[in-house]
């Protein structure tokens, strides 16, 4: 099933092709595109990141998003960048370990490189997650925003784009559904997630890279161990994700 981000990527490509937009044409700001395509800024940011990696558009900070390569905009499949992940002959747990290696290092970089605004974004995301515990449908997106804000605070373009593209495959969805994962997603599990988010925030605010890495490692290790406990059971809550044969 095509994701909302995938549909937005396709819509952007079709818009460029159908309107016969020339190289250098300004598509608009992220806010403009978000309203035009009826999606959140998170989704439009991911779509632009994918198209930028594919050479279709370029984003100029404080200016907007511009057409870069019209030919690519017409001919390249919208999910082409994600296709290699879909073909990986590996287990879901292997992908989670890859996520840990990436995000633990990202937390350390964020502790030493974040700007004041980026630090504020990280805290805001953590608080929004904590304030939405009664809205299960919102938790996945808010958790995604929290982890994405940390990747952005690395101020490393490769880290930011890697997270935007790879997390669509690496992060389990839905991750906080009690209906899908009744034995895994308990009130205690979610409360611990809140505490761990805070610990990560505090370490990043303190500028302590080692503490930030340890806090992120503890956070991801706990959830990964819980998933591993179910991963070998055909009737497990993880039966909907790819597994090794």
For 177-228, the pLDDT digits (tens) are 666 566 666 778 888 889 999 999 999 999 999 999 999 999 988 877 766 6
Q: Tell me the CATH class for 4-75.
A: mainly alpha
Select, from the ranges 21-25, 153-157, 168-172, 212-216, the one with the highest average predicted confidence (pLDDT). Answer: 212-216
CA distance 72 to 215: 41
Q: How far apart are CA 36 and CA 47, in angstroms?
A: 13
Structure tokens at 136: 């299960």
Sequence spans of domains, the chain: 4-75, 83-228
83-228 folds as 1.20.120
Q: How far apart are CA 52 and CA 59, in angstroms?
A: 7
User: pLDDT at position 110, please?
Assistant: 95
Is residue 216 exposed (0-12), middle (13-18) or buried (19+ Cβ within 10 Å)? buried
């Amino acid at each position: 099933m095509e994701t909302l981000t995938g549909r937005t990527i396709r819509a952007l490509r079709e818009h460029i092709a159908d309107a016969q937009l020339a190289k250098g044409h300004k598509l608009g700001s992220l806010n403009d595109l978000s309203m035009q395509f009826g999606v959140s800024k998170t989704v439009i940011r991911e779509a632009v990141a994918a198209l930028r990696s594919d050479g279709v558009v370029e984003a100029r900070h404080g200016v907007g998003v511009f057409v870069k390569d019209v030919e690519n905009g017409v001919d390249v499949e919208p999910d082409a960048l994600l296709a290699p992940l879909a073909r990986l002959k590996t287990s879901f747990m292997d992908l989670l370990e890859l996520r840990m290696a990436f995000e633990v290092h990202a937390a350390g970089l964020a502790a030493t490189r974040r700007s004041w605004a980026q630090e504020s974004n990280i805290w805001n995301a953590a608080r929004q997650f904590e304030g939405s515990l009664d809205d299960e449908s919102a938790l996945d997106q808010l958790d995604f925003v929290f982890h994405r804000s940390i990747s952005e605070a690395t101020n490393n373009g490769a880290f930011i784009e890697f997270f935007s593209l790879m997390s669509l495959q690496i992060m389990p969805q839905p991750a906080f559904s009690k209906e899908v994962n009744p034995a895994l997603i308990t009130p205690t599990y979610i409360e611990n997630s809140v505490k761990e988010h805070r610990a990560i925030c505090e370490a990043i605010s303190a500028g302590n890279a080692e503490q930030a890495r340890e806090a992120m490692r503890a956070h991801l290790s706990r959830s990964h161990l819980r998933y591993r406990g179910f991963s070998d059971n055909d009737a497990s809550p993880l039966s909907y994700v790819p597994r090794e044969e």
